[in-house]
């Protein structure tokens, strides 16, 4: 097959009479974009109520799906017949031994009499059907659809196209997971990574160990937001083996393989709560109510614990026929193993020695992972593990899932191990999609917009051409610490999965973000048809705000990628059509949105500009922020823009174990009596309020006099806010230079970070 993108030769133009207004034209520009679309000016195929689906006997299931899709959209269901010679008004599905690129490649040929979908495998037929389905105009008033004549040739770039779901932190019923699979189907994904056990809940029935679901599937409460307080609501649930077998079949029918994950030897508190004898200390343990990494892990020196893991994997493999079984291996503290007599005896028995790269306990984890790999291999399967498996000796046939960036994937590929790329900075969908976090579902944090997902390249730098073959493909992950409702889960997934689909399916030279947005916008009509909630940010107004500190104004540039006009207002006055960039020089409230041709209004962008005597003035940082939270430097603090609840948004500066100490040059002697700023509070992430604040003034910038000093109490553990405003007043004083010193706390005894400094995040220092 010739692997190039063929230019469109011609597009059929239909001249419709008044009695033919129920005809609409299909559009093959779908998501993901096919490799080759070659159209002609010949007569189109017309799909209507008389259209018949013909197929070979082995393709009956695929034909049923096609009929279902047509019925979903248009309300009529074509008859399905065995393949015949009479090809007139027929959609024909056939397996043919042509020179297809792989088992998932397909060809669609369209002429006046027939739409013919061929492949050498059912997988390819199914993806051809998905392309046809997404080309349908979604309008239930349509009775006839014209399909332009031509040929489509298509195949995926990567054989592994994955999506992950964590059901341990929050439980989702089987019917919801089936909808999740349906969304994967629509976007041509084929691997579903089901994270089914963790510290916060054991979700799979294991018949040999019934307490895993009697006890381990339930927790007595959950961390409230990002505080150190807990609710008392019992949460949990589990899946029977029969339910999971049904789910496996549901996915297989849709050409998706479920890869189960039993996370070991860490993230095992739910198992330890059920069977305390499996841990190093013997407990007592409880199913964890918080997030993060627990020091309590499976006892690697306990033979009964190793037998337990093998027994669990045996029942898991009986349910899931997947070639791969994911066994985790991530975030395993060694603290308990260092103190455990059984683990230390196992280290001695195995002759394990520390070296200049790894501790003996690191190699003890390698022993556990290698033993489990051998067990899985002996049953005809292979393991996948997180990239922490590289911290020691990598099991011989392990596939590495690279989540801590791309470096683990590079290292594993150079060792000639298969790799699945799932870097958190590009492919974690539990991160925020927008910086407007105040108007978003509460999230774990981070910032991973759709455009960034679309920009991802799965073949990392640092590999030679021969090593590329070890990159099986990319996968995106959704962890559910802060996702308890299924409609929020879909909102995190859509439309980012559309961007992921093109990363997985398309060649790099095919990708065009703005073009994809147009195609994805059409696809949202199918989302609406099925009642799937999706994020609309990329279809709404895009606002770029750039402070010009030198000239003392803020530039606002508004843009859009879909049809319509941009409308804005300042301080809720009359709407104005946007024509050119705005210059903001004083306090105001700005709103803007896209007004679409049908009269509908896109999501409203809102922001406040907050100017003070310090705004756009020279500023010096006496202590530098942490390297991960410097963003645009000191100007972040005096640019007139207040940060949202997301401390990673770029509008905050963060100091770790250091004072936030800044000096602002007001450029002339000015009367001041008030200083205001916001702190960002996230106790879970070791971010607290200020221990003390001092204000000093100077006429020359060298000799400073203190005019204010105050100590503060540590916020209580149940403080639920994210933004903590601080306002300081003092007797009016005339000064040119003003210094503000904000001192952080250390983490308190009740906190997981006890013994370490706390963070402090500051934004927009106002002087009045």
Active site residues per annotation: 198, 267, 331
Confidence of residue 719 (pLDDT cuts 50, 70, 90): confident
Confidence of residue 5 (pLDDT cuts 50, 70, 90): very low
> Cα 358–359–360 angle (5° rounding)?
125
Q: Based on C-alpha coordinates, what's the Rg of the chain?
A: 30
Whether residue 345 is predicted with pLDDT greater than 90 in this model: the reply is yes
Whether residue 2 is predicted with pLDDT greater than 60 in this model: the reply is no
Q: Are residues 200 and 340 in the same domain?
A: yes
Cβ-proximal residues to 483 (8 Å cutoff; 6+ apart), any chain: 169, 170, 430, 441, 489, 492
CATH of residue 59's domain is 3.30.379.10
Whether residue 275 is predicted with pLDDT greater than 50 in this model: the reply is yes
The domain boundary residue, chosen from 127, 154, 181: 154
Whether omega for the bond prior to residue 161 falls within 30 degrees of 0, making it cis, is no
Does residue 696 form part of some domain?
A: yes
Q: Are residues 702 and 740 in the same domain?
A: yes
Q: Other CB atoms closer than 10 Å to residue 462's CB: what's the count?
A: 13
Q: What is the DSSP letter of 2?
A: -
Whether residue 11 is predicted with pLDDT greater than 60 in this model: the reply is no
pLDDT at residue number 86: 72
Q: Report strand pairing: 257-264 vs 235-236.
A: unpaired
Whether residue 50 is predicted with pLDDT greater than 60 in this model: the reply is yes
**How does DSSP assign 193-214, residue by residue?**
EEE-EETTEE-B--TT-THHHH
* Tokens 């489990």 -> residue: 372
Distance between CA 239 and CA 258 in Å, rounded? 15
Q: What is the DSSP letter of 429?
A: T
pLDDT at residue number 366: 95
Residues 514-540, buried b or exposed e (16+ Cβ, 10 A)?
eebbebbbbbbebbeeeebbbbbbbbb
Q: Give burial (CB, 10 Å; 0-12/13-18/19+) of 404.
A: middle
What does each C-alpha distance from 765 to 607, 617, 626, 724, 734 come to in angstroms?
A: 17, 11, 18, 13, 18
Q: What are phi and psi of 331, to 5 degrees?
A: 45, 60
Confidence of residue 141 (pLDDT cuts 50, 70, 90): confident
Q: Are residues 148 and 169 in the same domain?
A: no
Task: Spell out where 242-374 has E strands.
Answer: 257-264, 324-328
The average confidence (pLDDT) of the chain is: 94
Give the mean model confidence (pLDDT) for residues 32-52.
Answer: 97
CATH of residue 662's domain is 2.60.120.1190
Q: Are residues 241 and 354 in the same domain?
A: yes
Distance between CA 127 and CA 154 in Å, rounded? 9
Confidence of residue 549 (pLDDT cuts 50, 70, 90): confident
The domain boundary residue, chosen from 585, 609, 633: 609
pLDDT at residue number 15: 37
Q: Are residues 300 and 406 in the same domain?
A: yes
pLDDT at residue number 13: 40
Q: Are residues 533 and 571 in the same domain?
A: no
Does residue 482 form part of some domain?
A: yes
> Between 459 and 227, whose confidence is greater?
459
Confidence of residue 6 (pLDDT cuts 50, 70, 90): very low
Q: To the nearest 10°, the Cα dihedral for 213, 214, 215, 219?
A: 80
pLDDT at residue number 84: 72
* Tokens 């841990």 -> residue: 279
Q: How many domains does the chain have?
A: 4
Q: Which two tokens stand for residue 362?
A: 């690191």
Q: Are residues 329 and 257 in the same domain?
A: yes
pLDDT digits (tens, 9 = 90+) for 359-385: 999 999 999 999 999 999 999 999 999
Q: Give burial (CB, 10 Å; 0-12/13-18/19+) of 759.
A: buried
Does residue 580 form part of some domain?
A: yes
Which region among 334-338, 484-488, 547-551, 679-683 has the lowest average model confidence (pLDDT)?
547-551
Cβ-proximal residues to 95 (8 Å cutoff; 6+ apart), any chain: 56, 58, 59, 118, 119, 120, 121, 122, 125
pLDDT digits (tens, 9 = 90+) for 665-704: 999 999 999 999 999 999 988 999 999 999 999 999 999 9
Give the mean model confidence (pLDDT) for residues 244-253.
Answer: 98
SS (H, E, C) 97-147: CCCCCCCCCEEEEECCCEEEEEECCHHHHHHHHHHHHHHCCCCCCCCEEEE
> Between 737 and 99, whose confidence is greater?
737
Residues 336-354, buried b or exposed e (16+ Cβ, 10 A)?
bbeebeebbebbeeeebee
pLDDT digits (tens, 9 = 90+) for 67-95: 999 999 999 999 999 877 678 999 999 99
Distance between CA 411 and CA 177 in Å, rounded? 34
Percent of the chain whose pLDDT exceeds 70 = 97
Task: Give whichever of 222-231, 364-373, 539-548 has the largest mean pLDDT.
Answer: 364-373
Whether residue 464 is predicted with pLDDT greater than 60 in this model: the reply is yes
Confidence of residue 10 (pLDDT cuts 50, 70, 90): very low
Cβ-proximal residues to 535 (8 Å cutoff; 6+ apart), any chain: 433, 434, 450, 491, 492, 494, 495, 496
Q: Are residues 554 and 633 in the same domain?
A: no
Q: Are residues 149 and 46 in the same domain?
A: yes
β partners of residue 257: 191
Q: Are residues 335 and 476 in the same domain?
A: yes
Q: Which two tokens stand for residue 235?
A: 């949460």
CATH of residue 329's domain is 3.20.20.80
Does residue 4 form part of some domain?
A: no
Does residue 711 form part of some domain?
A: yes
Give the mean model confidence (pLDDT) for residues 31-45.
Answer: 98
Confidence of residue 228 (pLDDT cuts 50, 70, 90): confident
Cβ-proximal residues to 377 (8 Å cutoff; 6+ apart), any chain: 383, 397
The domain boundary residue, chosen from 537, 565, 594: 537
Percent of the chain whose pLDDT exceeds 90 = 86
Confidence of residue 767 (pLDDT cuts 50, 70, 90): very high
CATH of residue 597's domain is 2.60.40
- What domain range includes position 303? 162-537
Q: 187 with 31: CB under 8 angstroms? A: yes
pLDDT at residue number 14: 42
Does residue 673 form part of some domain?
A: yes
Cβ-proximal residues to 531 (8 Å cutoff; 6+ apart), any chain: none
Q: Are residues 325 and 355 in the same domain?
A: yes
Whether residue 20 is predicted with pLDDT greater than 50 in this model: the reply is no
pLDDT at residue number 744: 97
Q: 588 with 568: CB under 8 angstroms? A: no
Whether residue 8 is predicted with pLDDT greater than 70 in this model: the reply is no
pLDDT at residue number 85: 65
Cβ-proximal residues to 420 (8 Å cutoff; 6+ apart), any chain: 160, 162, 384, 399, 400, 401, 402, 472, 473, 474, 475
Distance between CA 491 and CA 484 in Å, rounded? 12
Residues 729-740, buried b or exposed e (16+ Cβ, 10 A)?
ebeeeebbbbbb
Q: Are residues 236 and 221 in the same domain?
A: yes
pLDDT at residue number 1: 36
Q: 147 with 44: CB under 8 angstroms? A: yes
Q: Which two tokens stand for residue 131?
A: 């392309």
Distance between CA 722 and CA 689 in Å, rounded? 10
Give the mean model confidence (pLDDT) for residues 477-481.
Answer: 98
Does residue 89 form part of some domain?
A: yes
Does residue 309 form part of some domain?
A: yes
Q: Report strand pairing: 144-147 vs 191-195.
A: unpaired
């Amino acid at each position: 097959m010739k692997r190039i993108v063929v230019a469109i030769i011609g597009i059929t133009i239909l001249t419709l009479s008044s009695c033919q207004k129920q005809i609409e034209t299909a559009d093959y520009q779908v998501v993901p974009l096919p490799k080759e679309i070659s159209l002609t000016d010949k007569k189109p195929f017309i799909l209507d109520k008389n259209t018949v689906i013909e197929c070979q006997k082995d393709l009956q299931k695929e034909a049923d799906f096609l009929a279902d899709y047509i019925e979903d959209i248009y309300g009529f269901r074509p008859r399905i017949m065995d393949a015949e010679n009479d090809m007139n008004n027929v959609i024909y599905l056939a397996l043919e031994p042509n020179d297809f690129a792989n088992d998932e490649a397909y060809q669609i040929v369209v002429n006046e009499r027939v739409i013919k979908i061929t492949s050498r495998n059912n997988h390819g037929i199914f993806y051809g059907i998905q392309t046809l389905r997404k080309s349908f105009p979604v309008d239930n008033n349509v009775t006839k659809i014209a399909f332009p004549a031509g040929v489509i040739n298509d195949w995926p770039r990567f054989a592994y196209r994955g999506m992950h779901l964590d059901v341990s932190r929050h439980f989702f019923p089987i019917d919801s997971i089936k909808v999740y699979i349906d969304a994967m189907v629509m976007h041509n994904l084929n691997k579903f990574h089901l994270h089914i056990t963790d510290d916060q809940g054991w979700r799979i029935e294991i018949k040999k160990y019934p307490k895993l679901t009697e006890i381990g599937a339930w927790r007595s409460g959950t961390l409230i937001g990002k505080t150190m307080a807990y609710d008392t609501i019992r949460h949990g649930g589990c899946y029977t083996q029969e339910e999971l077998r049904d789910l496996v079949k549901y996915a297989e029918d849709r050409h998706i393989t479920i890869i189960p994950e039993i996370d070991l030897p860490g993230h095992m508190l739910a198992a330890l709560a059920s069977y305390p004898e499996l841990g190093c200390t013997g407990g007592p343990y409880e199913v964890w109510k918080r997030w993060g990494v627990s020091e309590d892990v499976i006892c690697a020196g306990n033979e009964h614990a190793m037998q337990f893991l093998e027994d669990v994997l045996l029942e898991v493999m009986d349910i899931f026929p997947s070639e791969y079984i994911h066994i985790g291996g991530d975030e395993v503290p060694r603290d308990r193993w260092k103190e455990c007599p059984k683990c230390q005896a196992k280290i001695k028995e195995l002759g394990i020695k520390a070296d200049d790269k790894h501790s003996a306990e690191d190699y003890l984890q390698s022993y556990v992972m290698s033993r489990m790999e051998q067990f899985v291999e002996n049953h005809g399967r292979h393991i996948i593990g997180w990239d922490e498996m590289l911290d020691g000796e990598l099991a011989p046939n392990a596939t590495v899932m690279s989540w801590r960036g791309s470096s683990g994937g590079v290292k594993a590929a150079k060792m000639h191990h298969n790799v699945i790329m799932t870097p958190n900075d590009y492919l974690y969908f539990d991160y925020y999609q927008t910086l407007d976090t105040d108007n978003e579902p509460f999230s774990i944090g981070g910032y991973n917009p759709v455009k960034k997902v679309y920009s991802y390249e799965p073949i990392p730098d640092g590999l030679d051409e021969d090593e590329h073959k070890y990159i099986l493909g990319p996968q995106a992950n959704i962890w559910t610490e802060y996702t308890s409702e299924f409609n929020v889960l879909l909102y995190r997934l859509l439309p980012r999965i559309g961007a992921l689909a093109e990363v997985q399916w398309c060649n790099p030279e095919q990708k065009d973000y703005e073009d994809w947005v147009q195609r994805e916008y059409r696809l949202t009509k199918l989302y609406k048809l099925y009642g799937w909630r999706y994020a609309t940010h990329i279809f709404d107004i895009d606002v770029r705000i750039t402070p010009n500190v030198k000239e003392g104004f803020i530039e606002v540039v508004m843009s859009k990628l879909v049809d319509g006009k941009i409308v804005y207002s300042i301080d809720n006055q009359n709407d104005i059509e946007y024509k050119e960039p705005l210059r903001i020089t004083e306090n105001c409230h700005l709103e803007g949105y896209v007004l679409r041709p049908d009269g509908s209004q896109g999501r409203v962008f809102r922001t406040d500009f907050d100017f003070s005597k310090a705004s756009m003035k020279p500023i010096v940082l006496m202590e530098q922020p942490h390297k991960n939270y410097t963003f645009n430097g000191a100007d972040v603090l005096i640019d007139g823009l207040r940060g949202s609840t997301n401390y990673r948004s770029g509008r905050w500066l963060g100091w770790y174990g250091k004072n936030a100490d800044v000096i602002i040059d007001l450029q002339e002697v000015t009367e001041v009596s008030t200083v205001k700023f916001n702190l960002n509070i996230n106790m879970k992430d070791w971010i607290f309020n200020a221990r003390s604040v001092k204000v000093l003034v100077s006429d020359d910038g060298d000799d400073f006099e203190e005019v204010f000093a105050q100590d503060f109490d540590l916020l209580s553990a149940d403080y639920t806010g994210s933004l903590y405003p601080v306002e300081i007043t003092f007797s009016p004083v005339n000064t040119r230079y003003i210094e503000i010193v904000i001192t952080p706390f250390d983490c308190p005894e009740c906190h997981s970070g006890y013994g370490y400094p706390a963070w402090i995040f500051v934004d927009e220092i106002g002087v009045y």
